[in-house]
Every structure is written in structure tokens, then in C-alpha cells.
């Protein structure tokens, strides 16, 4: 049977993941699940551990569940390590989203300056985790969910020997949303994805193998909604979609509709709605109240208020495709290896790939269309600089990273942002 280590086990998303293992118990012989957290997350870990045991019991499965603050014990001989941690917790996220707004820069926890701050806090931790994997379970697959997932996966790929795939629920969410727009079930829809994490495009869309890209784009231009719970429901302009000729991802709103998003974020602050972090703190509290109830033995509906919908489907079906050598197509963050010829071979891209025991083989796409090539190149440059800054702690690389980010509109603002970020995250930045 398989040993699974979940780093950040106290996450409110863990019941989602557990539900995935339960649903796929017939194809995935999980024997042990280790939930790992840190001292600060101990109370959440306890609640999640108890709920997990009730869920597994209800399903009548013979899976041993462990909770531990000892990461090495969890990683030792694991077959799969799933990372879903948040360095600094939601308080740090609130700063990631809040600091940029001081300078009229979009505050988002995975893109822009907020994503940069989250990345440099997380990089030292993910490197530590990878040292443990290299030592204690060198054959394990790391399935990284930790944001910014593209940058964190790029760090693992460049600076460790760990086998890694980065995962996001956006592609699977887009497939499900497109299916809804078409009024069909998701398993009939296939999208050719290309790009970066939270910067991915649906290049072509197929229904039962037939190309329906035009039909979907027309619906999207007509006000059809494709989104995630954590992003404002701003509609796309008809003519923009016509000229883009591809399906943007929900996060593209930050880049193509920056003014609307910024306005929405600033108004939210004025109306005391708080940033998304502050909203999530409330949702999380409600969730954990539910999770504590000894009568609860399944994933509660309220989890759908979070942006991480379909996480379990994405993660557990991916793990099953690897373990069962399925050679099935999944959308993952992996080494480009020439699949997108307008990007270097050794950078991480979010792309469809054939998944089996040997790993992921990206579907070859050739050059990116001119209308998206520039933005992707620029964001990748920002990501590479961020990885380097996060690993080395070099101030000037960090400054260049932020300056290169398309959401940061001036080098002077980049410097102010960087200084605030470094100061207000100093407890989490041993490398600087
Ligand atoms: P959370 O704040 O609940 O954090 C999860 C757990 O990580 C907490 O219990 C915390 O104590 C723990 N943790 C913090 N530092 C740790 C460390 N060094 N070692 C082990 N555990 C540690 O966060 P969440 O909302 O559950 O999200 C978790 C992560 O998943 C975040 O990075 C988030 O951005 C990411 N996420 C990714 C996607 C995606 O599409 N890839 C979707 C949703 C969430
Ligand atoms: C999804 C993304 C995640 C993101 C999360 C936020 O949109 O794919 O990467 O971090 O949801 O959800 P939350 O509920 O925490 O705001
Ligand atoms: Mn994501």
C-alpha cells in the first residue's frame, strides 16, 4: 500500500483531499496518510486529524491516519508527498494583499507583488522539505499545491533532485465551467492548455473531439462566466475575446483588466470588506467550527466558498495516473522540455502532459501565438528572477524581479514595495 505525506495537513482543504482518496480507493491502494503541520497549526491539525479518521471510518477503509509535527517521520519512505502549506499563515497573506494597495498596485496572493512576497517566504521552506525528501524518500513524487505553484515548482526543479509536479485547480475548473456553459458533462470537454500557472490559456476547446473553441468564446464574450470563488466576477469584453481568440484563465483579469480589479480591491477596503485574506479568515473559522462536530463525517458544503474547488479531483486523479501508469492527460506544472518552443527548455510551464509512472511528458505545442507570447515571456522572466532572489536573498535580484512584474508599474514603486515586503516579512526570510 501507499504512504502519503501531506505537508500542511492542518489546511481546511485536507477534507477535500481525503474525499478524493476515498472516492478513488478502488484504484489507489493508500495504506497510510501522514498529516504534518507545525506547532502554530497544532490545533487545526488535531481537528483535521479527527475529521479525517471519521471520514475514513465512514467509508469503511483500512487506511491508517497519523498526525505529526515531525516532518521527517512523515516523509520517510513516502510514495507521494503533497505540499499545501502557507508560510506565515493568513496573517502573512493579509499583508501580501494589503502592502501593494498602499501604492495603488493590485494586491493578490499569487500574482503581482503579493505573489512575490509569498514566494520568497516559501522558497526556503520548500527547499528544506526537498532536502528531507532527497534524504528519506528519494523516489517519492512531490505534488506541489503550494502557491505561487509555478514559482515554487520551478524552484524545486532548478535547485533539488526531487521529482515534482505542480498542480493548480484552475485548469480543471475551466473545463468544468466550459462544460456548464455548453450544458454538457465535464468528461466530454477537453481543453488544450498552454502557459504558466495562473497565466494559462485554453488554446483550443473540444467537445467529444470536435473543435468548439468559437462556440465557447462566443458564449464567454456574451457574458458567460468562467471564474473561481476568490476572484471578482468581472465580465470579459466581447471584442477582447474576439481578438484574443483563446480562453483566458480567471487570473488573467488581473493582467488585462487591472484597472477594474484595482478599483474593486480599493473599494473593498473602503467598505471594510477587507482583503480576500480577511474574508477567508472568517470562512475558515466557520469551517473549523463545522469540522469539530463529532457527528460530521464528510466534507461540508461550505468548503465550496473557498477558491480551491476540485483540488481533490485534480490531485488524486493525478496521483492515480502516476501510480497506475495510466498515460492519461493532465494539466500540470512541469519542465517545458521544448513543448513550447518560444520558452527555454528548462523552465516550468503549465501544460497538458501525458502522465504515467515515468512522470509527465508535455504535449508539444510549438510557438506561442503572438498575442500571448509577450506577456508570458515577461511573467516567466519575473518568475525566474523571483526564484533566484528567493534562493539567494540578493536584494538587487529581488528588485529586478518586482520591477519586471507587469502588475508593478514603476521601478520606484517596486523599490518601495520590496522594502515594505522585506521589513514586514523579516521573520520568514532567513535568506535576506
Ligand atoms: P493555511 O493557511 O490553512 O495553511 C495550511 C497549513 O500549513 C496550516 O495548517 C499551517 O499551519 C501549515 N504550515 C505553515 N507553515 C508550515 C510548514 N513550514 N510546514 C508544515 N506546515 C506548515 O492555507 P490554505 O488556505 O489551506 O492553503 C494552503 C496552500 O495551498 C497555500 O499555499 C495556498 O496558496 C495553496 N493553494 C493552492 C491552490 C492551487 O491551485 N495550487 C489552491 C488553493 C490553495
Ligand atoms: C484558486 C487557485 C488557488 C488560490 C485559491 C484561493 O483560485 O487556483 O491557487 O490560491 O483558489 O482560494 P481562497 O479561498 O484561499 O481565496
Ligand atoms: Mn491555483
d(CA 405, CA 236): 23
Q: pLDDT digit string (tens) for 210-229?
A: 999 999 999 999 999 999 99
Q: Can you tell me whether residue 9 is helix, strand or coil?
A: coil
Distance CA 234, CA 237 (A): 10
Dihedral Cα 385, 390, 395, 401, nearest 10 deg: 30
**Ligand lying closest to the C-alpha of residue 230:** 2
C-alpha cell at 108: 493578490
Contact 42, 107 (CB under 8 A): no
Average pLDDT value for residue range 90-97: 98
Using DSSP's 3-state secondary structure scheme, residue 209 falls into: coil
Average pLDDT over residues 26-43: 98
Per-residue pLDDT at 400 exceeds 90: yes
Confidence of residue 314 (pLDDT cuts 50, 70, 90): very high
Q: Measured from the CB, is residue 309 less than 6 Å from ligand 1?
A: no
**Any ligand 1 atom below 6 A from CB of 86:** yes
Q: For 116-125, what is each residue's pLDDT tens digit? A: 999 999 999 9
Q: Clarify whether 251 is annotated catalytic.
A: yes
- Please tell me the pTM assigned to this model: 0.98
pLDDT of residue 409: 95
Task: Give the model confidence (pLDDT) of 130-162 as tens digits.
Answer: 999 999 999 999 999 999 999 999 999 999 999
Q: Whose CA is nearest to atom 6 of ligand 1?
A: 8
Query: In this predicted structure, what is the pLDDT of residue 313?
Result: 87
% of the chain with per-residue pLDDT over 90: 96
User: Does residue 146's CB lie within 6 angstroms of at least one atom of ligand 1?
Assistant: yes
| Closest to 2 measured CA to CA, from 358, 355, 320 | 320
| C-alpha span between 84 and 32 (Å, rounded) | 18
Which contiguous run of DSSP H or E holds residue 58? helix 42-58
pLDDT at 60: 97
Q: Is the ipTM of this complex over 0.90?
A: yes
* Residue whose entry in the numeric block shows the C-alpha cell 505540499: 83
**Is residue 198 within 8 Å of residue 227, measured between CB atoms?**
no
Between the CA of residue 11 and those of 22, 41, 90, 146, what are the distances in Å?
18, 9, 11, 11
Backbone phi, psi, residue 106, to 5°: -55, 135
Cβ neighbours of residue 66 closer than 8 Å, sequence gap 6 or more: 32, 33, 34, 35, 74
Q: What percent of the chain has pLDDT over 70?
A: 100
Q: How confident is the model at residue 21, as a pLDDT?
A: 97
3-state secondary structure of 125: helix
Residues with CB under 6 A from ligand 2: 110, 147, 168-170, 228-230, 276, 280, 306-308
Given 13, 49, 251, 310, the catalytic residue: 251
Residue 273 has what pLDDT? Answer: 86
Compute the mean pLDDT over every residue in the chain, rounded to the nearest whole number: 97
Mean pLDDT throughout 386-415? 98
Task: Quote the strand ranges of 29-127, DSSP E.
Answer: 30-36, 64-68, 80-83
- What pLDDT score was predicted for residue 375? 98
Give per-residue pLDDT as tens, 232-259.
Answer: 999 999 999 999 999 999 999 999 999 9
How many degrees, rounded to 5, is the angle at CA 94 between CA 93 and CA 100?
95
Tell how far the Cα of 182 is from the centroid of ligand 1, in angstroms. Answer: 33
| Pocket of ligand 1 contains residue 40 by CB under 6 Å | yes
pLDDT tops 90 at residue 309: no
**Could you give the count of Cα atoms lying within 13 Å of 52 in the half-sphere of its Cβ?**
29
| pLDDT range class, residue 408, cuts 50, 70, 90 | very high
Ligand 1 neighbourhood includes 15 CB (under 6 angstroms):
no
pLDDT of residue 344: 98
> Which residues, by Cβ under 5 Å, contact ligand 3, an ion?
168
- Rg of the chain over CA atoms, in angstroms? 21
Q: How many CB atoms sit inside 10 A of residue 318's CB?
A: 24
pLDDT in tens, 409-427: 999 999 999 999 999 999 9
Cβ pair 5, 36 in contact under 8 A: yes
Sequence-distant (≥ 6) Cβ neighbours of residue 58 within 8 angstroms: 297, 298
**Residue 272 pLDDT > 90:** no
Amino acid at each position: 500500500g501507499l504512504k502519503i505525506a501531506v505537508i500542511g495537513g492542518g489546511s481546511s482543504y485536507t477534507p477535500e483531499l481525503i474525499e478524493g482518496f476515498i472516492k478513488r480507493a478502488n484504484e489507489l491502494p493508500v495504506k497510510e496518510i501522514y498529516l504534518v503541520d507545525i506547532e502554530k497549526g497544532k490545533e487545526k491539525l488535531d481537528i483535521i486529524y479527527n475529521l479525517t479518521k471519521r471520514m475514513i471510518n465512514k467509508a469503511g477503509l483500512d487506511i491508517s491516519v497519523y498526525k505529526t509535527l515531525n516532518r521527517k517521520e512523515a516523509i520517510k519512505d513516502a510514495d507521494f508527498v503533497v505540499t499545501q502549506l502557507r508560510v506565515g499563515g493568513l496573517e502573512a497573506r493579509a499583508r501580501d494583499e494589503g502592502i501593494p494597495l498602499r501604492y495603488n498596485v493590485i494586491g493578490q496572493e499569487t500574482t503581482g507583488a503579493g505573489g512575490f512576497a509569498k514566494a520568497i517566504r516559501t522558497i526556503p521552506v520548500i527547499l528544506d522539505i526537498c532536502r528531507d525528501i532527497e534524504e528519506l524518500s528519494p523516489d517519492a513524487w512531490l505534488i506541489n499545491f503550494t502557491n505561487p505553484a509555478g514559482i515554487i515548482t520551478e524552484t524545486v526543479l532548478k535547485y533539488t533532485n526531487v521529482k515534482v509536479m505542480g498542480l493548480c485547480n484552475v485548469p480543471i475548473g475551466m473545463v468544468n465551467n466550459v462544460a456548464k456553459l455548453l450544458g454538457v458533462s465535464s468528461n466530454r470537454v477537453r481543453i488544450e492548455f498552454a502557459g504558466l500557472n495562473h497565466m494559462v490559456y485554453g488554446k483550443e476547446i473540444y467537445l467529444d473531439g470536435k473543435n468548439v473553441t468559437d462556440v465557447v468564446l462566443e458564449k464567454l464574450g456574451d457574458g458567460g462566466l468562467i471564474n473561481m470563488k476568490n476572484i471578482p466576477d468581472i465580465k470579459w469584453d466581447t471584442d477582447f475575446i474576439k481578438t484574443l481568440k483563446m480562453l483566458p484563465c480567471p487570473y488573467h483579469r488581473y493582467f488585462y483588466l487591472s484597472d477594474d480589479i484595482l478599483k474593486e480591491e480599493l473599494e473593498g477596503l473602503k467598505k471594510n470588506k477587507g482583503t480576500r485574506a480577511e474574508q477567508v479568515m472568517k470562512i475558515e473559522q466557520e469551517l473549523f467550527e463545522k469540522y469539530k462536530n463529532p457527528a460530521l463525517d464528510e466534507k461540508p458544503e461550505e468548503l465550496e466558498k473557498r477558491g480551491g474547488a476540485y483540488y481533490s479531483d485534480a490531485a488524486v486523479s493525478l496521483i492515480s495516473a502516476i501510480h497506475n501508469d495510466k498515460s492519461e492527460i493532465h494539466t500540470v506544472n512541469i519542465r517545458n522540455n521544448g513543448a513550447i518552443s518560444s520558452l527555454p527548455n528548462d523552465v516550468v510551464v503549465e501544460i497538458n502532459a501525458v502522465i504515467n509512472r515515468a512522470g509527465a511528458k508535455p504535449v508539444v505545442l510549438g510557438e506561442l501565438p503572438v498575442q500571448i507570447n509577450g506577456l508570458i515571456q515577461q511573467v516567466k522572466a519575473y518568475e525566474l528572477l523571483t526564484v533566484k532572489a528567493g534562493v539567494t536573498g540578493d536584494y538587487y535580484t529581488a528588485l529586478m524581479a518586482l520591477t519586471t512584474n507587469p502588475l508593478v508599474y514603476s521601478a520606484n514603486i517596486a523599490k518601495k514595495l520590496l522594502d515594505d515586503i522585506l521589513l514586514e516579512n523579516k521573520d520568514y526570510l532567513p535568506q535576506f
